[in-house]
């Protein structure tokens, strides 16, 4: 009896497959659209511009992409739960200032009348913790006080930027080289150094991508993130600790933002409080281009990386071509809208 | 026969990815008659009706209305052609009032711009009067109880003055008295020449209201016949495709020691004066199936939610296997061995964006941890495969989206998810709601099998016959209190109904 039923249900779909092989090919093409777009862009710029495929340009390109991709990784987790994090750009700025202050001025402990200087590793750790702490604050406001993520992180966008400006009264921490007698040299190495021809920032992106893909696909946390975005109530009744998991996604996003703040401050050998403005929008764009649904529950980390590359290649190519930067902005916007339009088409295709 | 067919669907086929929902189905709508459409879940009833109402488009086949082929592209097209539909799920705007809901997208206006609220409210009042519901048209829909909302849904279609009216399970939330009113309205509509298609799982109801009956099974048309001379057995046989025993007789299962014990459970209402749960005490034993019966608002669902740790309740004792259920965290309760199969599959049971596999594994992820906090995919797959087999869930691939399954199979996935947590106590809230006779019996069998394995099962049902059929013991609740407990042999329909009405001030003698 049971067996007969199963046979029937298996037979039906195979009929469909035969009938609509073309449709399935179409679906595969649509689902790989970000990849295809990336290769088309790469091919196009490689043909029309000789300097595009040079090693030096590709290094510059991936360094730019790494910034957006790392932010996008954190943003992907947040968006998968159905949330959004508008504060990432400000955390980037604040993280740079934290690192800058710790290197140039040390930690001033007024009570004891002393100034403590840390070595660079500890400074990096403290900065990352500060970023995670801001993410934690976002998460607490959202999950414990039931504030909409858009509002909570919009508020944090201002607060973190304000803190960044306040930290040096709007000034820059220049020349973050440290000094040998304080034992805090070596910070610029993070932005300038490279391994096997690739800058450290690119290695960090690769490492974080692998880690994030693993977390999203292979850990209970990852599955639960998808479940929360798909149906929060069902997730809760299945024993998913919705608040805790949601909160953690903002901590991840804060961590990624602080990492980017460190990379940029190190690359510039200076920390400027306005660093990272509008970065949140680029990160969201990368996530959306990568096929993640803003409604939550649907999307991939790898898609976000591809999305970041699409944006990066497009900008880099347009710069090489000497396109007006105003025109560049318009084209970037059109590409993002186009991506979402295609995304909606795909959803409709799936429902057929 | 053909002269009184007002509309006809011919050779309708609808293909979804993974399934053929309808396979060359013919369907007649008779002028001024009721054609009842029945079939198990996943038979294609709702899909067929959605095609007639323009919500979905057929893959092939055609629809003839009064001799002309029509192609409704959306519900609006269908309405203009005189076809209206009441959906299975409520489609109301809780933030708008009754008359605004009734006239949504058909607003009566002054000069085409401004809504004529007075005219709308008068008409709404008239419609509600016809349905014998003295609801103020200015009441917000969110303030109505579910049954009243259903009535508003019906009024909404009546306002359209359609020629063909499709009703997809309109009575699922109605009381007996309200069903009577609805039937009277249906007869009135028939007298006015309105043609009606009526879908329901309640067979007695169909026999009562139908002029013709059409039976679908697995997307195929099985039979169509005038209602005269047809009996229940014929319907059930055609529906299920095999002889279904009329009265369910659960297999023997041994009842052991108490596993779940609740004493003096009280849940205060957030704003009101009356407690939602008032001094509830009950025991559940190993291998025991306890039915929880009561009217809407009796507190059955809330009791389950308290047991899962969802509400800030108070209780002098709540233990599982002698261990206190203390922490108000669902995952801890699940770990301790208590698991809920929620009432509303779509809203509470399943994550629509996830696959069958991911849905089933969701509550028991911790069990499949391998090294580095990662999941052991093979172990997961085996566990899911095991329950897909044990529960005989009908599917082509566990990696397909959950929405590719029919209602009954989706319910089995929810049950499978619960069983994968390896519970001691299973709480089942309306486990057979909206599923067909065949699947109901399968769910019953599963419940009995679980009891045989020593699980304690506490389940809620609004269907008396179900409660009586399968329970070892029945607890009747009313207004948040336990009124009486019945053993299997002493419970009768009359006694249950009487106990459930305590405190409602309703005369239940019918």
**Residue A17: pLDDT band with limits 50, 70, 90:** very low
Report d(CA A5, CA A15) in Å as an integer: 16
**Residue B242: pLDDT band with limits 50, 70, 90:** low
Note down the domain range covering A318: 34-351
**Nearest neighbour of A12 by CB, restricted to B20, B329, B366:** B20
**B47 to chain A, minimum CA–CA distance in Å?**
13
User: Hey, are the CB atoms on B358 and A241 less than 8 Å from each other?
Assistant: no
Which residues on chain A are in Cβ contact (under 8 Å) with B358?
223, 226-227
**pLDDT surpasses 60 at B459:** yes
Which residues on chain B are in Cβ contact (under 8 Å) with A5?
392, 394
The secondary structure of B290-341 as a DSSP string is: EEEE--TTSSHHHHHHHHTT-S--B-SEEEETTEE-----HHHHHHHTEEEE
Place of tokens 């469909």: A16
**B372 to chain A, minimum CA–CA distance in Å?**
9
Mean pLDDT of A245-256: 96
Residue A257 lies in a domain: yes
Residues 260-279 of B with CB under 8 A from A: none
**CATH H-level superfamily of B2-240:** P-loop containing nucleotide triphosphate hydrolases (3.40.50.300)
**pLDDT surpasses 60 at B245:** no
| Percent share of chain B, pLDDT over 90 | 15
More confident residue, B236 or A208: A208
**Nearest neighbour of B330 by CB, restricted to A15, A218, A239:** A239
More confident residue, A40 or A111: A40
More confident residue, B285 or A11: B285
Q: Which helix or strand (DSSP H or E) is residue B261 part of?
A: strand B258-267
pLDDT of residue B17: 60
Residues 204-223 of A with CB under 8 A from B: 214, 218-220, 223
Which residues on chain A are in Cβ contact (under 8 Å) with B394?
5-6, 9
Residue A177 lies in a domain: yes
Contact B404, B354 (CB under 8 A): no
Mean pLDDT of A24-52: 82
**pLDDT surpasses 70 at B52:** yes
Residue A15 lies in a domain: no
Contact A141, A147 (CB under 8 A): yes
Mean pLDDT, chain A, rounded, equals: 86
Residue A6 lies in a domain: no
**A78 to chain B, minimum CA–CA distance in Å?**
16
Residue partners of B493: CB distance under 8 A and separation at least 6 = B464, B465, B468
Residue B63's nearest CA partner among B80, B81, B46 is B81
**pLDDT surpasses 90 at A348:** no
More confident residue, A171 or B497: A171
Residue A109 lies in a domain: yes
Residue A21 lies in a domain: no
User: Hey, are the CB atoms on A220 and B365 less than 8 Å from each other?
Assistant: yes
**pLDDT surpasses 60 at B7:** yes
Q: Which helix or strand (DSSP H or E) is residue A210 part of?
A: helix A200-218
Mean pLDDT of B266-290: 84
Which residues on chain A are in Cβ contact (under 8 Å) with B375?
218-220, 223
Residue of A nearest to B339 (CA): A238
pLDDT of residue A6: 37
**Residue B372: pLDDT band with limits 50, 70, 90:** low
| pLDDT one-digit tens code per residue, A146-164 | 999 999 999 999 999 999 9
Contact B185, B10 (CB under 8 A): no
Residue of A nearest to B365 (CA): A220
**Lowest-confidence segment of A23-37, B336-350, B395-409 by average pLDDT:** A23-37
Residue of A233, A237, A300 to mutate when probing chain B, most B C-beta within 10 A = A237
Flag whether residue B330 sits within 8 Å of chain A, measured between CB atoms. yes
Contact B236, B213 (CB under 8 A): no
Flag whether residue B386 sits within 8 Å of chain A, measured between CB atoms. no
Which residues on chain A are in Cβ contact (under 8 Å) with B441?
none
Residue partners of A209: CB distance under 8 A and separation at least 6 = A69, A73, A301, A302, A305
Mean pLDDT of B185-214: 86
Q: How many Cβ atoms from other residues are within 10 Å of residue B96's Cβ?
A: 15
| pLDDT one-digit tens code per residue, B302-353 | 899 899 988 888 888 888 888 888 788 898 899 889 999 998 888 888 998 8
**pLDDT surpasses 80 at B472:** yes
> What are the boundaries of each domain within chain B?
2-240, 248-337+424-510, 348-422
Residue A4 lies in a domain: no
Contact B140, B96 (CB under 8 A): yes
Flag whether residue A234 sits within 8 Å of chain B, measured between CB atoms. yes
User: Hey, are the CB atoms on A12 and B396 less than 8 Å from each other?
Assistant: yes
DSSP-derived secondary structure letter, A175:
-
Residue B437's nearest CA partner among B415, B407, B475, B462 is B407
Helices (H) then strands (E): counts for chain A? 15, 4
pLDDT of residue A125: 95
User: Hey, are the CB atoms on B395 and A229 less than 8 Å from each other?
Assistant: no
pLDDT of residue A7: 36
Mean pLDDT of B396-422: 86
Mean pLDDT of B393-415: 84
pLDDT of residue B42: 65
pLDDT of residue B432: 81
Report d(CA B399, CA B384) in Å as an integer: 11
Report d(CA B43, CA B28) in Å as an integer: 17
**pLDDT surpasses 90 at A96:** yes
User: Hey, are the CB atoms on A12 and B19 less than 8 Å from each other?
Assistant: yes
Which residues on chain A are in Cβ contact (under 8 Å) with B446?
none
User: Hey, are the CB atoms on A239 and B421 less than 8 Å from each other?
Assistant: yes
User: Reduced to 3 states, what is the DSSP secondary structure of residue B35?
Assistant: strand
Contact B21, B44 (CB under 8 A): yes
Flag whether residue B347 sits within 8 Å of chain A, measured between CB atoms. yes
CB-neighbour burial class of residue A278 (10 A; exposed 0-12, middle 13-18, buried 19+): exposed
**pLDDT surpasses 80 at A53:** yes
**Residue B273: pLDDT band with limits 50, 70, 90:** low
**Residue B135: pLDDT band with limits 50, 70, 90:** confident
User: Reduced to 3 states, what is the DSSP secondary structure of residue A221?
Assistant: helix
Residue A7 lies in a domain: no
pLDDT of residue A350: 61
Residues 1-30 of A with CB under 8 A from B: 2, 5-6, 8-10, 12-13, 15-16
pLDDT of residue A156: 95
**pLDDT surpasses 90 at B407:** no
**pLDDT surpasses 90 at A81:** yes
Q: Is A146 left (phi over 0), alpha (psi -120 to 50) or beta?
A: left
Residue A79's nearest CA partner among A277, A217, A282, A225 is A225
**Residue B293: pLDDT band with limits 50, 70, 90:** confident
Instruction: Judge if ipTM > 0.85.
Output: no
Q: B248-337+424-510 sits in which CATH class?
A: alpha beta
Domain count, chain A: 1
**pLDDT surpasses 80 at B58:** yes
**Residue B232: pLDDT band with limits 50, 70, 90:** confident
**Residue A120: pLDDT band with limits 50, 70, 90:** confident
**Residue A37: pLDDT band with limits 50, 70, 90:** confident
Q: Which helix or strand (DSSP H or E) is residue B225 part of?
A: strand B220-226
pTM: predicted TM-score of the whole model, two decimal places: 0.76
Residues 194-253 of B with CB under 8 A from A: 218
Residue of B nearest to A238 (CA): B363
pLDDT of residue B299: 83
More confident residue, A349 or B341: B341
Flag whether residue B57 sits within 8 Å of chain A, measured between CB atoms. no
């Amino acid at each position: 009896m049971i067996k007969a039923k199963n046979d029937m249900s298996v037979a039906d779909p195979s009929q469909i497959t035969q009938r609509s092989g073309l449709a399935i090919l179409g679906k595969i093409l649509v689902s790989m659209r970000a990849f295809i777009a990336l290769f088309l862009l790469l091919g196009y710029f490689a043909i029309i511009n000789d300097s595009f495929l040079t090693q030096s340009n590709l290094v510059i390109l991936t360094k730019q992409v790494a910034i957006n991709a790392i932010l996008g990784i954190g943003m992907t987790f947040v968006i998968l739960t159905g949330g959004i994090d508008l504060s990432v750009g400000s955390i980037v700025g604040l993280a740079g200032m934290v690192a800058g202050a710790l290197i140039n001025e040390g930690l001033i402990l007024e009570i004891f009348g002393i100034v403590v200087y840390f070595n660079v590793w500890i400074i990096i750790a403290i900065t990352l913790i500060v970023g995670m702490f801001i993410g934690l604050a976002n998460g607490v406001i959202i999950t414990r006080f039931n504030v909409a993520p858009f509002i909570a992180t919009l508020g944090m966008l201002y607060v973190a930027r304000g803190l960044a400006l306040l930290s040096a009264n709007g000034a820059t921490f220049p020349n973050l080289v440290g000094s040998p007698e304080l034992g805090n040299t070596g910070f610029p190495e993070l932005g300038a150094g490279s391994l096997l021809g690739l800058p450290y920032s690119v290695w960090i992106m690769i490492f974080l991508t692998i880690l994030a893909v693993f977390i999203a696909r292979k850990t209970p946390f990852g599955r639960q993130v998808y479940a929360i975005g798909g149906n929060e109530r069902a997730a809760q009744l299945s024993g998913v600790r919705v608040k805790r998991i949601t909160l953690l996604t903002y901590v991840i996003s804060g961590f990624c933002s602080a990492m980017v703040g460190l990379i940029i401050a190190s690359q510039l050998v200076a920390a400027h409080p306005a660093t990272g403005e509008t970065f949140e929008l680029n990160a969201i764009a990368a996530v959306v281009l990568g096929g993640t649904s803003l409604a939550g529950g649907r999307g991939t980390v790898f898609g976000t990386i591809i999305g970041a590359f699409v944006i990066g290649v497009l900008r880099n190519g347009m710069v090489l071509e000497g396109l007006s930067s105003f025109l560049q902005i318009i084209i970037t916007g059109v590409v993002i809208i186009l991506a979402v339009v295609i995304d909606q088409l795909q959803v409709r295709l799936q429902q057929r | 026969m053909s002269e009184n067919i007002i509309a006809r669907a011919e050779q309708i086929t609808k293909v979804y990815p993974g399934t053929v929902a309808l396979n060359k189905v013919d369907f007649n709508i008779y002028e001024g008659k009721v054609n009842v459409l029945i079939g198990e879940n996943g038979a294609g009833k709702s899909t067929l009706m959605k095609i007639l109402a323009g919500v979905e488009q057929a893959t092939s086949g055609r629809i003839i209305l009064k001799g002309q082929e029509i192609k409704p592209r959306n519900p609006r097209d269908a309405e203009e052609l005189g076809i209206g539909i009441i959906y299975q799920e409520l489609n109301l705007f809780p933030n708008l009032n009754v008359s605004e809901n009734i006239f949504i997208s058909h607003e009566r206006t002054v000069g085409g711009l401004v809504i004529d609220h007075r005219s709308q409210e008068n008409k709404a009042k008239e419609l509600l009067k016809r349905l014998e519901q003295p609801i103020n048209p200015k009441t917000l829909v969110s303030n109505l109880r579910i049954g009243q909302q259903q009535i508003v849904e019906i009024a909404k279609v009546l306002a359209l003055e359609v020629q063909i009216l499709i009703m997809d399970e309109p009575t699922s939330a109605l009381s007996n008295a309200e069903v009577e009113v609805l039937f009277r309205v249906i007869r009135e509509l028939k007298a006015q020449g309105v043609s009606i298609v009526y879908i329901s799982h309640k067979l007695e109801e169909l026999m009562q209201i139908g002029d013709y009956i059409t039976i679908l099974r697995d997307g195929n048309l099985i039979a169509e016949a005038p209602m005269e001379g047809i009996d229940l057995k014929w319907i059930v046989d055609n529906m299920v495709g095999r002889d279904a025993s009329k009265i369910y007789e659960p297999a023997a299962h041994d009842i052991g020691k108490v596993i779940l014990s609740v004493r003096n459970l009280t849940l205060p209402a957030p704003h009101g004066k009356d407690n939602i749960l008032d001094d509830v005490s009950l025991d559940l034993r190993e291998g025991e199936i306890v039915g929880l019966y009561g009217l809407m608002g009796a507190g059955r669902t809330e009791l389950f939610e308290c047991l899962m740790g969802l509400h800030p309740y108070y209780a002098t004792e709540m233990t599982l296997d002698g261990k206190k259920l203390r922490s108000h965290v669902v995952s801890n309760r699940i770990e301790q061995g208590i698991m809920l199969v929620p009432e509303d599959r779509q809203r509470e049971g399943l994550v629509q964006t996830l696959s069958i596999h991911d849905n089933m594994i969701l509550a028991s992820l911790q069990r499949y941890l391998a090294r580095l906090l990662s999941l052991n995919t093979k172990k997961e797959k085996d566990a899911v495969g095991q329950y897909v087999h044990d529960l005989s869930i009908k599917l082509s691939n566990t990696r397909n989206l959950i929405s590719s399954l029919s209602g009954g199979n989706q319910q089995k996935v929810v049950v499978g998810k619960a069983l994968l947590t390896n519970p001691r106590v299973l709480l089942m809230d309306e486990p057979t709601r909206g599923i067909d006779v065949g699947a109901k019996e399968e769910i019953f069998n599963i419940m009995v099998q679980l009891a045989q394995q020593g699980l304690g099962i506490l389940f809620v049902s609004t269907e008396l016959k179900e409660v009586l059929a399968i329970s070892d013991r029945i607890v009747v609740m009313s207004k948040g209190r336990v009124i009486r407990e019945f053993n299997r042999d002493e419970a009768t329909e009359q006694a249950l109904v009487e106990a459930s009405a305590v405190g409602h001030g309703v005369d239940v003698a019918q």
